[in-house]
């Protein structure tokens, strides 16, 4: 079974993918780790590569292509990434969301930043990404029609998110 898990920063996608991977005993890959691999392959730091990618649509396209290729070679896999559901032939697509304040608090705690700085960075990043996704792929990140399950993670810990996904998989 191929499962994609997407969501905006701070919604809990990576943690949910890790927990679900353990529960189902299947591997997972993340768009973030592929992005880091791409930076390393080019001899660039993550920050340098991120800046390079801003003006180079080929990076986004390559990232999406790599996820799809890895998934095609797998029988069982969880693919975590914001746009994974659009590029990976998946049996089940999940989108995790949470209110902005919840996501900002999680990011601030995770990255040891003030709430104000985290909020400012999230808002800038999300606006930039939404425009890029629309421009490059004609994807509206706020359209959830492709997803089988959309889950607000505000009130759930990662284990409960995994249980909700597993319960939903049993029903379909």
- The share of the chain scoring above pLDDT 90, in percent, equals 79
Question: Is residue 171 a part of any domain in this protein?
Answer: no
CA–CA distance, 153 with 14 (Å, rounded to integer):
12
Question: Is residue 42 a part of any domain in this protein?
Answer: yes
Question: Is residue 163 a part of any domain in this protein?
Answer: no
* Confidence band for 3, pLDDT divided at 50, 70 and 90: very high
Question: Is residue 161 a part of any domain in this protein?
Answer: no
pLDDT number for residue 113: 93
Structure tokens at 97: 């969301």
Report pLDDT digits (tens) over 95-152: 999 999 999 999 999 999 999 999 998 998 888 888 888 988 999 999 999 999 999 9
Across the chain, what does the average pLDDT equal?
93
* Confidence band for 5, pLDDT divided at 50, 70 and 90: very high
- 54: domain range? 2-155
| DSSP assignment string, 28-95 | EEEHHHHHHHHHHHTT--HHHHHHHHHT-HHHHHHHHHHHHHHHHT-SSEEEESTTHHHHS--SEEEE
pLDDT number for residue 43: 96
Residue at token pair 């909700």: 164
Question: Is residue 168 a part of any domain in this protein?
Answer: no
Question: Is residue 166 a part of any domain in this protein?
Answer: no
pLDDT number for residue 30: 94
Structure tokens at 89: 């032939």
Question: Is residue 165 a part of any domain in this protein?
Answer: no
Report pLDDT digits (tens) over 12-53: 999 999 999 999 999 999 998 999 899 999 999 877 888 888
How many domains does the chain contain in total?
1
CATH number of the domain where residue 45 is located: 3.40.50.300
Determine the average pLDDT of the residues in 73-87: 95
Determine the average pLDDT of the residues in 75-94: 96
Question: Is residue 118 a part of any domain in this protein?
Answer: yes
* Orientation of helix 57-72 relative to helix 31-41, angle to 10°: 120
CA–CA distance, 158 with 104 (Å, rounded to integer):
17
Determine the average pLDDT of the residues in 7-11: 94
* Confidence band for 60, pLDDT divided at 50, 70 and 90: confident
């Amino acid at each position: 079974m191929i499962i994609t898990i997407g969501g905006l920063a701070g919604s809990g996608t990576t943690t949910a993918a890790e927990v679900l991977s353990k529960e189902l005993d299947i591997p997972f890959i993340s768009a973030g780790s592929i992005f880091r691999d791409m930076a390393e392959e080019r001899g660039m730091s993550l920050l340098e590569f991120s800046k390079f990618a801003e003006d180079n649509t080929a990076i986004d396209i390559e990232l999406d292509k790599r996820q799809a290729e890895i998934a095609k070679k797998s029988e069982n896999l969880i693919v975590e990434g914001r746009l994974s559901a659009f590029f990976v032939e998946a049996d089940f697509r999940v989108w995790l969301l949470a209110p902005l304040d919840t996501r900002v608090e999680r990011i601030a705690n995770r990255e040891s930043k003030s709430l104000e700085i985290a909020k400012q960075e999230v808002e800038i990043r999300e606006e930039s990404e939404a425009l890029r996704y629309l421009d490059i792929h004609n994807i509206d990140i706020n359209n959830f029609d492709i997803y089988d399950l959309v889950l607000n993670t505000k009130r759930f810990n990662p284990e409960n998110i995994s249980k909700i996904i597993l319960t939903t998989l049993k029903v379909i």
